[in-house]
Amino acid sequence: MAEDEFRWHRMADERPTDEDGAYLLLGNGGGMYVGRISTLICADGSTLFRIPNNRSGHIGSESIKAWAEIPPFKEVDDG
Q: CB of 38 within 8 A of CB of 51?
A: no
> Of 33, 36, 37, which is closest to residue 25 (Cα–Cα)?
33
Give per-residue pLDDT as tens, 32-66: 999 998 877 677 777 888 888 777 788 888 999 99
d(CA 54, CA 57): 5
Local confidence band at 3 (pLDDT 50, 70, 90 cut-offs): low
| Predicted pLDDT of residue 79 | 60
| Predicted pLDDT of residue 1 | 45
Instruction: Name the more confident of 3 and 49.
Output: 49
> Of 31, 15, 12, which is closest to residue 69 (Cα–Cα)?
15
Q: Where are the alpha helices (DSSP H) in 1-79?
A: none
Helix (H) or strand (E) holding 33: strand 32-37
| Predicted pLDDT of residue 56 | 79
